[in-house]
Chains A and B, each alone.
Chain A
Amino acid sequence: MNQTPDTALFLGHLHPLLVHLPIGLLLLVAILEFLSRFPRFKQANANAGLILALAVPATAMAALCGWLLARAGGYQDNLLQWHRWAGISTAAAAAFAALLYRLNLKRAYRWCLVPSVGVLVVAGHLGGSLTHGSDYFVRYAPGPFRAWLGGSPQAAPVQTNHVELAQLPVFANVVRPVLQQDCVSCHGPEKSKGRLRLDTLEGLAKGGKSGPAIVAGKSADSEVIKRMLLPLTDDDHMPPNGKPQPSADDLALLQWWLDSGASPDKQVSELKPSPRVTQILAAKFGSPAPIVTTVPPKPLKDVLPQSAALAAELGIAITPLSPQEPWLQCNASIAGTNFGDAELKKLAALGANLRWLDVAGTAISDGGLARFETMPNLTRLHLERTHLTDASLAQVASLSNLEYLNLYGTEISDAGLDQLRSLPKLRQLYLWQTKVTPAAGKAFAEARTDQDQLQRWREEIEQLNAKIREAHISVDLGTIFPAAASTNTTPINAVCPVSGKPIDPTKTLFHNGVLVAFCCDDCKAKFQQDPAPYLAKLEPKKEPQPATK
């Protein structure tokens, strides 16, 4: 293709902007002329001539810009040709109608408006199809309508409920939907910018102007990934700035598929997903993600009287966490060993409203923790300094909202710790003075941390920091300090100028910018009072004596 000059492309890109005005104007003329046939609206067409006069140059401009835009290429040829000629016909028909109007052939002019509007509608629809895809108009039309309008029957949504996630074919169910969502509107059957189609595996492999879009097994070398990872402001970034961008999760899925060989039909389990990919897939397809149960709490004002009575009865403190939310915090540790399993059972009445629970140092036992099933919304739980053992942790592990868990000073061991792995939100776990070994604690923490994700975030922060550094300009005029009295810290004399004895280096004084040392505080005081008589005796140690005033 010949290189299109930038000016031409600039004008071409005005096409979507200019095209809507003539459509409106021409339709308006037709509507006004139609209305004027009814006696009530006889005057409706009074300004039709003026509107038509505006419509003709607007139509011509739109057509011209459209012609220039088409030269940039990347559109489906067949559709483009039809749109081009329909558009030019519209411009021609409008001009012809205007001519008839000018010649006062009103009847012919009116008849001429009918085909004008006809070609206008065709051109408009084809233009829409070019930009948004041919099924854009009817994609969400009700079923029978769509068939009648010529749309394809809606694809049945992928049923993931019955199929195990592990057996899902990756390209069809994971990769294609991502490309469909973010790429295919420009690189698809209707419009294939850069002669690239991303709607099929063949298209991906064949690539476009810049070569193949993918390199199987190497996501980092694949053009699609490279383009997506360029800075948003880069001209080559895809999708272009301003269009919807793929999410980090989607990008990770594409990379995973490419790195594991870009297979056309392999299933999830065959591609050995990393923990992160598993997590993303789980979130996308709604299965084995950790299940967080939330039981709706009662409104605060309904539970307050009950909680007040309970607090008084049990000798504990129960207060709302805040007035806006229904949550309660309960400190039972102040009751000490007076608080045990029986008391915890009574507390279950407030169950779903309890958010923070502190039973540290109380007499609760493993058996009593069965009450936790009534407190599913707990986020902070203090169990420290109690006699709980590993047997209790199965109950704790069911508290899926838990973020803070304190178990220090209990009988917990490595075996118990394993049961806590399923807590999805846990962020702080305190195990001082338990039987848990350091190795087990470390392993627990590592298993719960997605190191890959952390690394990616660190890199992201580094990139952002680089941007911040680049955004700054530092203008430095220098810091102006007063002249130092002296930077020389050794006295200039070896003997005291007052007494003639050897100096004590800690008894010093600055005189005219030099450090003078004395044998004692008395001599220093004398010198301070009137230095004149002693200046002559101030023999320089090395350098000549500096001039005095």
Chain B
Amino acid sequence: MQPVQSFLQHQTRRAFFKNSGLAAGRIALASLMCPDLFQARAATVRPAGGHPGLPGLPHFAPKARRLIYLFMNGAPSQIDLWDYKPKLAELFDADLPDSIRNGQRLTTMTSGQKRFPIAPSIYKFTSHGQCGTMVSELLPHTAQVVDDLAVIRTVYTEAINHDPASTYILTGNQIPGKPSIGAWLSYGLGSEAENLPAFVVMTPRWSAKRDAQALYQRLWGAGFLPSQHQGVALRAKGDPVLYITNPSGVDASARRTMLDGLAKLNRAGFERSGDPEIQTRIAQYEMAFRMQTSIPELTDISTEPKSVLDLYGPEVTQPGTFAASALLARRLIERGVRVVQLLHREWDHHGDLPRDLPLQCRDVDQACKGLILDLKQRGLLDETLVVWGGEFGRTVYCQGELRRDNYGRDHHPRCYTMWMAGAGIKGGTVYGETDDFSYNIVRDPVHIRDINATILNLMGVDHNRLTYGFQGLDQKLTGTEAPANPVKGILV
């Protein structure tokens, strides 16, 4: 069925005049009330290679020009990394008081447990930097740049399982189908880079000895936004983009000829049906063609001096590691990419946490420091927002058998820790306070909506005004269910 033709068949002469009469009136009224309306469209600044942002955006002068989002998929344990709880040490194996849990819903993984024994962290915390923030011994490198971080200890969410929780924080809703934060930013602010997408995703490999939660394309998808805004995922193994090199016997000019022919066919299709997705497809082919030269240049790190590589740690030269991806993230934003997201998997330590958490931390720790220092020395940290965190926290009580040297932790949505650094962020801040069990929030709760509102705010976007009409609702990243506010306490 051709949608355009079926629409045309339903157009009667009467319906046409009725609609057009009303429409003409509406246009006249709109032009009277908002004289700039028709000029603004015409005058939208269109960057040469990328796509333009919406007129009127940014809503206010941005602090951050770019975003690097380090997503720790699986939920890192805040109690073992950031949320220092010294009083727990003497409560080893004590039951978590009911007054603390307060009848909270548990996952099916621990709801069958007879008791909820407290498992204090076995890792030492020490104070670091001028700010004196307490950081676990598992993050010795990140601890060195703690004066640049704003650590938010009181992030919370409603979701208690990975899939909905990750979907929630990255797209603003537990139900799939909404655009991801990178897609919203690409849609609202447009793209500067000519040869690279506005939003690039990497999924580096991990070291813990277990399978990881699956990732879904929707975590960087465009939802109901035009699909050109979805994140382009670079692969961790082999060529970063599949078929980036021409097969033998096909050179660049042959590829060009083929694409020109294909574009002609696609344009004919668009003229017939008017489906905007066809235009996206044409644009994506063109982008892919340009990426055939830009990606090899991007991933060639032979020009990086050794001192820079050393910042990120020894794994930086092995493609697909978190360190290599972090370096690529910096190279991407230098080339005009607006949002880079790294999704590092397997932080889901229900058991054997002391076996796996150190491996995971070793993957990311030095690279996080390296990224911050590298951005800083280049003067880019001042314009780049770096966000680190997972989809929820982990429980203070043990899942499974509790031993002095081994324990596991279940999902905990009521509080967890994220950090931000860079543009517009007050470094050396610790925001919010949890109770002595890192179970409930005592002061300054930050919903994941507020995290997203903060990110948009720093990028110059008012989260309430970046909307897209879909299914009869002006949809927005922070949802329409409850108000969201930027976290003022961590902003400069």
Residue B18 is within 8 A (CB to CB) of chain A in the complex: no
Is B378 a contact partner of A432 (Cβ separation < 8 A)?
A: yes
Find chain A residues with CB under 8 A from B42 CB: 305
Residue A333 is within 8 A (CB to CB) of chain B in the complex: yes
The complex places the Cα of A384 from the Cα of B334 at a distance, in Å, of: 11
The complex places the Cα of A506 from the Cα of B354 at a distance, in Å, of: 15
Question: Known: A315-B194, A317-B336, A334-B192. Contact between A432 and B90, CB under 8 A?
Answer: no
Residue A30 is within 8 A (CB to CB) of chain B in the complex: no
Cross-chain contact of A482 among B49, B91, B382, B405 (Cβ < 8 A): B91
Question: Known: A481-B91, A482-B95. Contact between A305 and B43, CB under 8 A?
Answer: yes
Residue B6 is within 8 A (CB to CB) of chain A in the complex: no
Cross-chain contact of B53 among A315, A319, A489, A508 (Cβ < 8 A): A319
Cross-chain contact of A322 among B58, B336, B403 (Cβ < 8 A): B58
Question: At the interface with chain B, which of A73-81, A190-198, A213-221, A306-314?
Answer: A306-314
Is B87 a contact partner of A481 (Cβ separation < 8 A)?
A: yes
Find chain A residues with CB under 8 A from B40 CB: 301
The complex places the Cα of A327 from the Cα of B62 at a distance, in Å, of: 12
The complex places the Cα of A508 from the Cα of B405 at a distance, in Å, of: 11
The complex places the Cα of A432 from the Cα of B62 at a distance, in Å, of: 25
Interface residues of B in 302-343 (CB under 8 A from A): 334-336
Is B56 a contact partner of A323 (Cβ separation < 8 A)?
A: yes
Find chain A residues with CB under 8 A from B93 CB: 484-486, 510
The complex places the Cα of A364 from the Cα of B93 at a distance, in Å, of: 67
Q: Please indicate which of the listed interface residues A313, A320, A382, A508 has the most CB atoms of chain B within 10 Å of its own CB.
A: A320
Question: Known: A334-B194, A485-B94, A489-B404. Contact between A322 and B61, CB under 8 A?
Answer: yes
Residue A406 is within 8 A (CB to CB) of chain B in the complex: yes
Residue A304 is within 8 A (CB to CB) of chain B in the complex: yes
Is B436 a contact partner of A479 (Cβ separation < 8 A)?
A: yes
Residue A430 is within 8 A (CB to CB) of chain B in the complex: yes
Residue B176 is within 8 A (CB to CB) of chain A in the complex: no
- Could you mark each residue 289-329 of chain A with 1 if its beta carbon is under 8 Å from any beta carbon of chain B, else 0? 00000000000010011011001111111111111110100
**In the assembled complex, how far is the CB of residue A328 from the closest CB belonging to chain B, in whole angstroms?**
8
> How many chain B residues touch the partner (CB < 8 A)?
44
Question: Known: A323-B56, A382-B379. Contact between A317 and B47, CB under 8 A?
Answer: yes
Residue A408 is within 8 A (CB to CB) of chain B in the complex: yes
Find chain A residues with CB under 8 A from B382 CB: 404, 428
Is B58 a contact partner of A334 (Cβ separation < 8 A)?
A: no
Residue B39 is within 8 A (CB to CB) of chain A in the complex: yes
- Could you mark each residue 77-88 of chain A with 1 if its beta carbon is under 8 Å from any beta carbon of chain B, else 0? 000000000000
Is A311 a contact partner of B94 (Cβ separation < 8 A)?
A: no
Question: Known: A308-B43, A320-B45, A428-B379. Contact between A484 and B90, CB under 8 A?
Answer: yes
Find chain A residues with CB under 8 A from B267 CB: none
Find chain A residues with CB under 8 A from B50 CB: 317
Interface residues of A in 470-520 (CB under 8 A from B): 479, 481-487, 489, 506, 508, 510
Residue B92 is within 8 A (CB to CB) of chain A in the complex: yes
Find chain A residues with CB under 8 A from B436 CB: 479
Residue of B whose beta carbon sits closest to that of A310: B45
Is A301 a contact partner of B53 (Cβ separation < 8 A)?
A: no
Residue A278 is within 8 A (CB to CB) of chain B in the complex: no
Find chain A residues with CB under 8 A from B53 CB: 319
Cross-chain contact of A315 among B48, B190, B377 (Cβ < 8 A): B48
Find chain A residues with CB under 8 A from B128 CB: none
Is A319 a contact partner of B45 (Cβ separation < 8 A)?
A: yes
**In the assembled complex, how far is the CB of residue B170 from the closest CB belonging to chain A, in whole angstroms?**
26
Residue of B whose beta carbon sits closest to that of A333: B336
Is B45 a contact partner of A331 (Cβ separation < 8 A)?
A: no
Residue of B whose beta carbon sits closest to that of A318: B45
Residue B300 is within 8 A (CB to CB) of chain A in the complex: no
Residue of A whose beta carbon sits closest to that of B192: A317
Is A304 a contact partner of B45 (Cβ separation < 8 A)?
A: yes
Is A487 a contact partner of B379 (Cβ separation < 8 A)?
A: no
**In the assembled complex, how far is the CB of residue B84 from the closest CB belonging to chain A, in whole angstroms?**
16
Find chain B residues with CB under 8 A from A483 CB: 94
The complex places the Cα of A65 from the Cα of B49 at a distance, in Å, of: 83
- Could you mark each residue 374-389 of chain A with 1 if its beta carbon is under 8 Å from any beta carbon of chain B, else 0? 0000000010100000
Is A408 a contact partner of B379 (Cβ separation < 8 A)?
A: yes
- Could you mark each residue 78-95 of chain B with 1 if its beta carbon is under 8 Å from any beta carbon of chain A, else 0? 000000000100111111
Is A432 a contact partner of B336 (Cβ separation < 8 A)?
A: no
**In the assembled complex, how far is the CB of residue A72 from the closest CB belonging to chain B, in whole angstroms?**
49
Find chain B residues with CB under 8 A from A325 CB: 61
**In the assembled complex, how far is the CB of residue B310 from the closest CB belonging to chain A, in whole angstroms?**
15
- Could you mark each residue 410-450 of chain B with 1 if its beta carbon is under 8 Å from any beta carbon of chain A, else 0? 00000000000000000000000000100000000000000
Q: List 26 A-B contacts (CB under 8 A).
A: A304-B43, A305-B42, A308-B46, A312-B48, A317-B50, A317-B192, A320-B45, A322-B61, A323-B56, A323-B57, A324-B60, A327-B61, A333-B336, A360-B334, A404-B382, A408-B378, A432-B377, A432-B378, A481-B90, A482-B94, A482-B95, A484-B93, A486-B93, A489-B92, A489-B404, A506-B405
**Contact surface of B with A, Cβ cutoff 8 Å:** 36, 39-40, 42-50, 53, 56-62, 87, 90-95, 97, 190, 192-194, 334-336, 377-379, 382, 403-405, 436, 460
Known A304-B43, A382-B379, A510-B93; further 4 A-B contacts with Cβ < 8 A: A304-B45, A384-B378, A481-B90, A508-B404
- Closest 8 interchain pairs by CB? A430-B379, A317-B47, A304-B43, A406-B379, A317-B192, A334-B336, A315-B48, A432-B377
